[in-house]
Structure 1
C-alpha cells in the first residue's frame, strides 16, 4: 500500500499523463463515440465488460498450455485475446482521461503493464505460429504475470480510488428514511432546478407545475456541482449539464443522457403535502 501511495503522488508521471490525456480527448471528440465507449448506453462503464474477453482468453490459454495436445486451441485463444485488447484499451483510455491526476498516475502504469503484457502475448502468438511452441508458452506465461500486475492496479483504481464508480450513490444512505420537508412548493422556481439540503446532503430539486423530482446534487461521475450546471430543454425533457466534465442528466428521473457518466444520477422520493415539498430515501 505504501508503494501505491507513492505511485499516486508520483508527479514525475504528469507530463506524460497530460500529453496522453490531451491526445485521447482530441481523438474522441464525437459525442456518440464518447457515449459508446464510456458505456452511457449500458448503464455502467464499458471497459470492465470488454476486458473480460482478453482476460478470459489468456487465462484459458494458460490452462490449456499445461495440458497435453491443446496447442491449437491455446494458440486460437491467444489470437482472440490479443485482438480483443484494442476495444478494451479504447474504452479504458477514454475513462482514464476524465480522472483526477492522482488516479491518472496509477492508470498510466496500469495501461503500461497491460501494454507490455499485450506485447508478450503478440510475441507468443508469433512464436506459436512459427512452430516454436515452448517459446510461445513461456512468453504467454510471462504475459499473464505482467497482466496480473495490471489487474492489481486496475482493482486499486476501482476499489481504493473509486475510479469509474457512481460517486453520488453513497449519499443516498445519508438521506433520512422519514419524509423531510425542504420548503414550500411556492418557494421553488417552476421549470428551473434549485439546491436544497437534506441531512447535510446537497439535493437538486426540480419543479414542473405541481410535480417535483429530486436528485443528489453532486455528479456521480466526479462529484461536480450540478446546481451550477446549465439547464437544457424544458418540461419532462429538461436536463442539467455537469459544469466539470459535461455529463448530462434528465431532471425528471436522473437518467444519464450523455457521458462521461455511465450511470444514472441517484434520485430521492419526492411529494407535495399541504403545500410543502418533502423528500426521503428511495
Structure 2
C-alpha cells in the first residue's frame, strides 16, 4: 500500500510537484497558507505518513501540532512554532531548501529567471551592460556565468577574499564590498544583490541604474518599510515565477531522493 503524502501550500510549483510524486505516493494537495482548525481537521482525516510544508512558513492561527500518523516531515523555511514542534516530535525531518543538489539546480533556474525578468522589465539587451553582483554563493556564481556568456560586463563584489579571487580566476572583474559604492557615481551599472542581509542604505540605490534584489528576507535595504527607491525591484522566487513546472520537478526530485535514502537505510537496518 502506498504511503500517504499531504502537501500544503498555494505556490504553483506545488501542483507540478504533486503530479510528479503521485505515482509513488497517495497524495493530496491542500491549497492554503494558514495553519488553522480547518486545515488540522483535513490533516487528521487524511492521516498522512508524510507531510510537506511550503517554502514560506505557514501563518499560524492555532497551535502547530503534527499528526500522530506523520513519520516524515519536509519543511522549507521554519518559524518558531515549527522549530519547537520538530524538537518535541521524534520524526524524520528533511529541510529540502538545504539539499545541495536542489540548491544548485534552483540557482540555475534563478539565473535564467533573472534574464527573463530583466528583458521583461528593462526591455534592453544584456550584451555590453555592466552588472555588479553582490554575493558569490550558488546564485551569484550562476548569475555571473550566465550574464558573462551573454556579453555583459560582470563585476563580483564580496567581503570574502577567497570568493573575490575565485571570481577573478573565472574572468570576472572584482571589487571589494567596502568600495563598491564609492566607485559607482555615474549610475551606469545594474546592481544584483544576492546577500540575504540589510546592508544598502535606501539613498545609496541612486548609485546604480537599477537595483535588483534577489535575496530572500530581509533583502538588502536597511529601511525596507519606508522611502523605497524608485529604481529598486524585489525580484524573489524567480523559478516559480517563470518556470513553475521545472521548479516543481526539482522539489519532487529532492523529495524522492530523500525518501529513497530513508527506504534504503531502513532496509539496511532490518537486514543487520
TM (norm. structure 1) is 0.23
Larger Rg: 1
TM-score by length of 2: 0.23
